[in-house]
A and B are shown apart, each in its own frame.
Chain A
Amino acid sequence: MGKLDLNRREMPKQPSHIRRRNFNEVALGYTPELAIAEAQRCLQCKKPICIDGCPVEIDIPGFIKCIADGDFAGSIRILKDKNCLPAVCGRVCPQEEQCEELCILNKKGAPVAIGRLERFAAYWETTQDKIEMPEIAPSTGNKVAIIGSGPAGITVAGDLIKLGHEVTMYEALHEPGGVLVYGIPEFRLPKAVVRRELSYIQKLGVKLITNFVVGKTKSVDQLLKKYDVIFIGTGAGLPWFMEIPGENLNGAYSANEYLTRMNLMKGFQFPRSSTPIKKHKNVAVIGGGNVAMDCARTALRLGADNSYIIYRRSEKELPARLEEYENAVEEGVIFHFLTLPIKLIGDENGWLKEIECLRMKLGELDSSGRRRPIPIKGSEFIMPMDAYIVAIGNSPNPIIPETTSGLEIGRRGNIVTDENGKTSKDRVWAGGDIVTGAATVILAMGAGRKAALSMHEYLSK
């Protein structure tokens, strides 16, 4: 075997000074040459520990080997065997704490760029004229309803339709896709990518009904009269606020509102699309996760002079994907670490004018294993600000829990399931953010996959 190649190939991106003002995708993706070179770095380990880091257990060395050999069709086949949304996951999975963290080459600081390779393979597929269609089992005559069209619901729909069941998916909003459509911005995950995945499962025969709020338009109990089994994948869509004075001032938003105006309602095309979004000068985003990065970077693209992230812990504790944090820094987002907003101050017309903050320091480890932020007495200071966006998390939407009989609900409003996604209610499964609270795309898909298996088992009895 030759010398270890520790040159992790960079993925071409739009230059930061250009992309910070446009809405196009930041990453441009590997060329075939770059992809092959990167794939050839994989050691094809006998015991590939990278797979242990993958929630859906993709045959990682397998798909990478295909790319290294130039067999791109083979690589996408292997990916799709375990992951029905490789184009999405290649873009948004936190690989640095999953597969790439465990990759043996990470010991030398240069893990194989598994995510970028996955993105490449999925992209290659879209450039082909014909997409391979999977085999569909003969019809079983069983009827399945899926509630919510996010990654969890899409996974269950894809799996069960292939097994010959009749699948109908219900979505509350006017566009399917869940957070992939209303939350994650275009510059990180082009909507065309999500639309393609959805049209794929529709081509397989999944029936999609939008503008239908289960629990309002019809209850779960009513749907159970028409369907044999039901999967609930309604996500964690209820935004939290800081609950500090002034949060109802004009110019204060939940991240959900800001991103929904922008993405689902296409605010960036206003007035061509009719939902307005404000162009603010000084924008403060509260939080440190992917959602916060997305808001701060969206604000820049809308023309903000200054876009700040205000996070109460330090850089080390930032929960966002590393790549998105780096992108945000490159684009000019200004980070105020160890800072906590305590009060919003408005003008006489109810518009936000200033934010009062407090400096923090890190104390003992807390229950999450991170050092607890403690306020520093007397460190209050004021920043002029005309927008304030809260991105500190979401909890499960209560509509279904409140309107469904016999469904066990946890303390945080989440639906309780066993390890197969089975709820306490007969013939009803659930998975994704509605069960775990806000988590990740791949975990939602993993949960969907398990539930689909268990539902299929039940239906086959």
Chain B
Amino acid sequence: MFKVIEKEMIVPNLYLLTVQAPDIAEQIQAGQFIILRSHDDAERIPLSVADWNREEGTLTMIFMVVGDSTSRIAGLNVEDFVPTVVGPLGKPTETKKFGTVICIGGCYGIGSIFPVIRALNEKGNKVITILEARSNFLLYWEDKLKSYSEKIIIITRDGSSGQKGHIKRLSKILQEKAIKPDRIFVNGCTFLLSKTSLELSHFKVPIIVSLNPIMIDGTGMCGVCRVTVDGSTKFACVDGPDFDGRVVDWEELLKRRKQYLNEEAVLVHHSGCGR
């Protein structure tokens, strides 16, 4: 059993959860995820690890409530115990010195890209962080991200903070500021990942996206997480979750994620990120 240390709604519909999992906290690296079950008979839910404390043996995740299982996780209280936290799963994000890197986070990805930013910064990269949200009240962790970034650019759809616009605007903004990345990293919902991969492909550098297909075991046993990358089938849980977004078959991935739409009593929710 794994103890819940902290739970908090940080912006509407996005929750922060910290659990005690010392074995995982000792090993975890940027870009990896865990699988959590909130109750017996609950689904196995993959969540990226957004921060950790090796001394205290804790892991922090940021998640969005989109359906039944995430609502049940959101319903946990401090001091509760959850039956499963397993990991660290997936391959760590490759974080050596590339030069100038752009790190883009939207919705839960603002949190989950934090360890990537920190690691890239520690390896001596010039990190330009870009946060994307519908409105300023959906932004969080800006100070935390700032301390490891050379620059932070905020894009909101309603212009309530930073630049007004969509991820489409991003290309122009980067042009205006004469930013030429050597590598791009994106975390967040599939819509953001796919759009960014399209809009920024002209830079001709790898666009590393952290994919989030449906998963069960997370260890390569079931194959439900398969995605087509550069024409061949990969298991996102063991071969990823990071892939070069320029060669991901987005159409297939978006369809595969909808497989259980009818079964899940979907709590209709409009985060504005195109789910």
Contact = CB atoms under 8 A, between A and B. Distances in A.
B68 A239 contact: no
Contacts of A398: 220, 238
Given A218-B23, A237-B219, A398-B220, A211 B265 contact: no
Interface in B246-267: 251-252, 255-256, 258-260, 263-265
Contact of A350 (B42, B86, B221, B255): B255
Contact of B84 (A174, A237, A250, A273): A174
B153 interface: no
Interface string A235-261: 001110101000110100110110011
A250 B43 contact: no
Nearest to A217: B23
A199 to B, nearest CB: 17
A274 B41 contact: yes
A397 B219 contact: yes
A174 B37 contact: yes
B165 interface: no
A340 B251 CA distance: 28
Given A276-B264, A278-B263, A399-B220, A216 B89 contact: yes
Contacts of A278: 259-260, 263
Contact of B221 (A211, A270, A397): A397
Given A274-B41, A274-B69, A350 B256 contact: yes
Nearest to A277: B263
Contacts of A250: 255-256, 258-259
B162 interface: no
Contacts of B41: 266, 269, 272-274
Interface string A389-427: 000000001110000000000000000000000000000
A278 B68 CA distance: 17
A182 B219 CA distance: 14
Interface in B223-275: 223-224, 226-228, 233, 238, 251-252, 255-256, 258-260, 263-265
Contacts of A260: 216-217, 221-222
Contacts of B216: 257, 260-261, 265, 275
B24 interface: yes
Nearest to A267: B263
A368 interface: no
B253 to A, nearest CB: 9
Report the contact-size class of chain A (Cβ under 8 Å from the partner).
35 or more
Nearest to A270: B263
A349 interface: yes
B220 A238 contact: yes
Given A217-B27, A350-B256, A271 B219 contact: no
A292 B72 CA distance: 35
Contacts of B222: 239, 254, 256-257, 260
B87 interface: yes
A247 B235 CA distance: 13
A227 interface: no
A218 B25 CA distance: 11
Given A211-B84, A257-B224, A248 B37 contact: no
Interface residues of B, number: 41
A399 to B, nearest CB: 6
A212 B41 CA distance: 18
Contacts of B124: none
Given A248-B252, A276-B263, A350-B255, A256 B221 contact: yes
Contact of A256 (B69, B86, B223, B238): B223
A269 B222 CA distance: 20
B44 interface: yes
B105 interface: no
A270 B89 CA distance: 26
A275 B43 contact: yes
Contacts of B251: 350
A193 interface: no
A218 B252 CA distance: 34
A95 to B, nearest CB: 28
Interface in A264-298: 265-266, 269-276, 278
A459 interface: no
Contacts of A243: 233
B83 interface: yes
A212 B86 contact: yes
A349 B219 contact: no
Residue with the highest number of chain B CB atoms closer than 10 Å, among A216, A272, A397: A216
The 6 A-B pairs at the shortest CB distance, nearest first, are namely: A350-B255, A276-B263, A273-B41, A257-B222, A254-B223, A237-B221
Given A174-B83, A250-B255, A350-B256, 4 more contacts: A216-B27, A243-B233, A257-B216, A350-B258
23 contacts: A173-B217, A174-B44, A174-B83, A212-B23, A213-B86, A216-B88, A217-B24, A217-B88, A218-B23, A237-B221, A238-B220, A241-B233, A248-B227, A248-B256, A254-B223, A254-B224, A256-B222, A260-B217, A271-B263, A274-B69, A350-B255, A350-B258, A398-B220
